[in-house]
Chain A
Amino acid sequence: MTQPTNFGFGDECALLKDSARKFFAEHLPVDRLHALVAAHPDPEAPSGAPWRDDLWPAMVELGWTALAIPESAGGLGLPAVAVAGLMEEHGRAAFPGPLAATLATSYVLAAADSGTAALEEVAAGRSATLAFANAAGSWHAGDSPVSARGGRLSGTACFVQEPRKAERLLVAAQDEGGLGLYWIASDAAGVTVAPDTIVDLTRDQGRVSFEEAVAEPVGRNGLAAFHAAMPALWTLLAADMVGAGEWQLQTTVEYAQARKQFDRPLGFFQAVKHQLVDVMTRVDESKSLLYNAACALDHEPEKALQLAHMAKASASDMAAFASGRSVQCHGGIGFTWECYVHLYFKRQKHSEVLWGDGAWHRARLADILLGEVA
């Protein structure tokens, strides 16, 4: 199979991306985001995970939770590049809702053998997230610390994203048949959410414990479903990072134009100018790799794994670099709580390690490109 020259990013995708950008800019511009999530600076305080749940119905109305869901399950069945466009804007806005977690869940459900009913719920607007990582932070679903006996879950999943914002959990659990997938309400009996205290102010994360919690089985071959869905997950996260990286670039460039030292705008000095150019080239490389991977998900699935590893590896390194430079080039103000730069710095550091950092993805790529080491 071959890929279309334009990544399959047609008018429909451009329209969606554009409207997403307007939606976020109108409803949660960065000053209001800051007022919402960074109102009380206290490094010892537990994370509150505030977000604008009042915006969720509008997001559902726009069809965003249904984007990646096949039409047969009540979704819109849009290509992955459309999701990438939306998530780029989501990242540019550092939006603090459960949208990314919900989309990620929909990808795994779509690959599960009996996920249709759950997918219909999500398409209709139910928010959801994935529970599969262990305490060591393994992103291999087969390492899930949750087990299931007769449809009852027990154990504690770690590094669960947005556990207080998502209404449903898709749990990977070791069961009689191997790794099963289970669907359960996050406030069901036997489910306890213990929020982590995290650096990122725009996200929520936590441990979810199950004690004989009754869940609905939605897939028998969880390993295969996760394996099939992971490239899409890495891609959507990379999209968020690319959008956030572009925000970091533009914001720092504006500062370098406005702020004067030695009677010159900061951007006059090459030590600043060249760093910002390097941020730009890295954002662009990551963005190109992102749409390449997203396009492959639909048009060249046999290459999607490799290209998604590339996209997330590149995005992780870019995010680390852009974050560092955005603080450094702002000087003292960049080191303060009041400057918005820290919101993105923290979000990017979180995204950098989520679902595998650069080195982890490169190690997988090395096995593909150079062969595994005996």
Chain B
Amino acid sequence: MSESERKDTPEQAEFRAHCRDWLRDNHPGEPPVRLPQSAIEIMTEPQLHWLQAWQKAAYDAGLVGCDYPEAVGGGGRTDCQRVANEEMLAARTPFLPNVIGLGMAAPTIFYHAQEPLKERLLPRLLSGEDIWCQGFSEPGAGSDLASVQTFAERRGDRWVINGHKVWTSLAHFAEWMILLLRTDKSHKYDGLSYFVVPIRSALGKGVTVRPLIKITGETGFNEVIFEDLEVDDSYRLDELGKGWQVAMTTLLHERGGGELVTPRSGGLTSKTSFSPTARNLRTLAQETPRGGGTAADDPLLRDRIVRQFIREEALQQNQRRSRVPALQDHPMRLQLQYKLLISELAQDTARLGLEVAGPASTLYLADEHAPTGGQWPLAYMNSYGMTIAAGTSEIQRNILGERVLGLAKSK
């Protein structure tokens, strides 16, 4: 029996058995293409389609979106997504490609959209047929998100949108975007409103998506330009001027602190998928010649590799403890640390991977001599995406200091 099974409700226990049965027979196996390290690095149609097929299959089997009501395409279950996630991770599955849809757009739509819009958008979002993207950041608005300038002007019951979004992950594949914009220039926060807008169907008709090349050389994020894009007022979420509050729902779920558990699969270990973990670091060290032996014999490296094992274990145990109220002083304290700690841990592990690999860490993806296929330098560079996106580490520390420790707001 696994740790969490002991507390399963009858519904969860039955559902867990279903997940296991299904996963045993329906694991998609080895991917036909090299997969990127995460969904926001998906570059090619073959990668996307293979991953979309996985999400659709998992959705059809009831493993994705199970806590959403049936009316909006969900499974109508209670607290079962956690169970599905545990089983999908344990079965070492590929990740779900529609990350922004599942993690941010879906809960935001669920809590803030009118019923007909939910019924229209959520089924294809949960199944992964419609990829979603998030249009928050702009050239002038990053950490200070409320300063966005993209503007929607009212014309009857339609809106005309003009503006410029940047770093928009997955926009090149997205049907839809969640869009934070301004409907009133005289109030910073209360002048914001929140829309869902069709992107793909409007390409060339008011929407331009241009790829931005990442530090790694990969594509994956984009800039999106709106020039007189017309959308219907029915695409607005919540009231006019309530965009900031709606955006808080998005960010809360993005940071893992929301009510609805985000569907998550992953853990696929194969030649085509990689993440910078302590175990992978150990393997690298044991395979890297150093002196007469291997890098795993070097006392300094041993100490530092062990530190990564300890931090990984600590993070897992933080999650376990976050579900034990008697062992916490503040309800949000552990949850709000997760993003900061996991991103900095991955960064430090990847950086250490480079040190362990030594001179061979200079070799990149296409070099036949590169250790682990050049994945370590790729992971190290990609790790900065994690410490910057979704609120930088500095912003996370502000949030923790202010909301959890009660220190004065820095602004």
Q: Residues of A at under 8 Å CB distance from B?
A: 2-7, 9, 13-14, 17, 246, 253, 256-257, 264-265, 267-270, 272-274, 276-278, 280-281, 284-289, 291-292, 307, 310, 313-314, 359, 362-363, 365-366, 369-371, 373-374
Q: Give complex CA distance A14, B285 in Å.
A: 43
- Give, as a whole number of angstroms, the nearest-CB distance from A212 to chain B: 43
- Give, as a whole number of angstroms, the nearest-CB distance from A126 to chain B: 31
Q: Which of B1-31 contact A (CB under 8 A)?
A: 1-4, 6-7
- Give, as a whole number of angstroms, the nearest-CB distance from A287 to chain B: 7
Most buried by B among A9, A265, A280: A280
Q: Give complex CA distance A177, B335 in Å.
A: 53
- Give, as a whole number of angstroms, the nearest-CB distance from A326 to chain B: 14
Q: Within 8 Å CB of A313, what residues of B? A: 306, 310
Q: Give complex CA distance A255, B406 in Å.
A: 12
* B407 pairs with A265, CB closer than 8 A: yes
Q: Within 8 Å CB of B310, what residues of A? A: 289, 310, 313-314, 362, 365
Q: Give 8 pairs: A residue, B residue, CB < 8 Å, sorted on A.
A: A256-B407, A274-B394, A276-B401, A280-B333, A310-B310, A313-B306, A359-B303, A363-B302
Q: Give complex CA distance A307, B293 in Å.
A: 28
- Give, as a whole number of angstroms, the nearest-CB distance from B330 to chain A: 9
Looking at the complex, which one of A4, A289, A370 makes contact with B305 (CB distance below 8 Å)? Answer: A370
Looking at the complex, which one of B315, B397, B406 makes contact with A253 (CB distance below 8 Å)? Answer: B406
Q: Which of B317-341 contact A (CB under 8 A)?
A: 317-318, 320-321, 323-324, 326-327, 329, 333-334, 337, 340-341
Do A366 and B334 form a contact, CB below 8 Å, given A5-B7, A273-B398, A291-B317? no
- Give, as a whole number of angstroms, the nearest-CB distance from A314 to chain B: 6
* B305 pairs with A2, CB closer than 8 A: no
Q: Within 8 Å CB of B315, what residues of A? A: 285
Q: Which of B292-307 contact A (CB under 8 A)?
A: 293, 296-297, 299, 302-303, 305-307
Q: Within 8 Å CB of A17, what residues of B? A: 326
Q: Within 8 Å CB of B311, what residues of A? A: 285
- Interface size of B as a range: 35 or more
Q: Give complex CA distance A17, B328 in Å.
A: 12
Helix, strand, loop or mixed for chain A's interface? helix
Looking at the complex, which one of B305, B313, B320, B401 makes contact with A267 (CB distance below 8 Å)? Answer: B401
Minimum CB distance partner of B317 in chain A = A288
Q: Within 8 Å CB of A269, what residues of B? A: 410
Q: Within 8 Å CB of A285, what residues of B? A: 311, 314-315, 317-318, 341
Task: Tell me if B404 counts as interface (CB < 8 A to partner A).
Answer: yes
Do A268 and B303 form a contact, CB below 8 Å, given A273-B398, A280-B333? no
Q: Residues of B at under 8 Å CB distance from A?
A: 1-4, 6-7, 282, 285-286, 293, 296-297, 299, 302-303, 305-307, 309-311, 313-315, 317-318, 320-321, 323-324, 326-327, 329, 333-334, 337, 340-341, 394, 397-398, 400-402, 404-410
Q: Within 8 Å CB of A365, what residues of B? A: 306, 309-310
Minimum CB distance partner of B315 in chain A = A285
Q: Give complex CA distance A310, B312 in Å.
A: 11
Do A370 and B3 form a contact, CB below 8 Å, given A7-B327, A267-B401, A281-B337? no
Do A257 and B407 form a contact, CB below 8 Å, given A5-B6, A9-B326, A363-B303? yes
Nearest first, the 9 A-B pairs at minimum CB distance are A267-B407, A288-B317, A285-B314, A273-B401, A268-B408, A366-B302, A14-B326, A265-B408, A274-B397
Known: A5-B320, A362-B303; 5 extra A-B contacts, CB below 8 A, are A5-B323, A267-B405, A291-B327, A307-B313, A366-B305
* B324 pairs with A6, CB closer than 8 A: yes
* B314 pairs with A289, CB closer than 8 A: yes
Q: Within 8 Å CB of A264, what residues of B? A: 408
* B340 pairs with A281, CB closer than 8 A: yes
Minimum CB distance partner of B297 in chain A = A373
* B394 pairs with A4, CB closer than 8 A: no
Minimum CB distance partner of B409 in chain A = A268
Q: Within 8 Å CB of B314, what residues of A? A: 285-286, 288-289, 310, 314
Minimum CB distance partner of B295 in chain A = A370
- Give, as a whole number of angstroms, the nearest-CB distance from B363 to chain A: 24
Q: Within 8 Å CB of B297, what residues of A? A: 373-374
Looking at the complex, which one of B293, B313, B340, B404 makes contact with A292 (CB distance below 8 Å)? Answer: B313
Q: Give complex CA distance A310, B303 in Å.
A: 12
Looking at the complex, which one of A281, A284, A314, A369 makes contact with B282 (CB distance below 8 Å)? Answer: A369
Q: Give complex CA distance A287, B318 in Å.
A: 8
- Give, as a whole number of angstroms, the nearest-CB distance from A44 to chain B: 37
Minimum CB distance partner of A17 in chain B = B326
Q: Within 8 Å CB of B282, what residues of A? A: 369-370
* A281 pairs with B341, CB closer than 8 A: yes
- Give, as a whole number of angstroms, the nearest-CB distance from A235 to chain B: 13
* A277 pairs with B405, CB closer than 8 A: yes
* A287 pairs with B409, CB closer than 8 A: no
* A277 pairs with B320, CB closer than 8 A: no
Q: Within 8 Å CB of B401, what residues of A? A: 267, 270, 273-274, 276-277
Q: Within 8 Å CB of A265, what residues of B? A: 407-408
Q: Give complex CA distance A97, B286 in Å.
A: 47
Q: Give complex CA distance A122, B95 in Å.
A: 55
Q: Give complex CA distance A287, B314 in Å.
A: 9
Q: Within 8 Å CB of B341, what residues of A? A: 281, 285
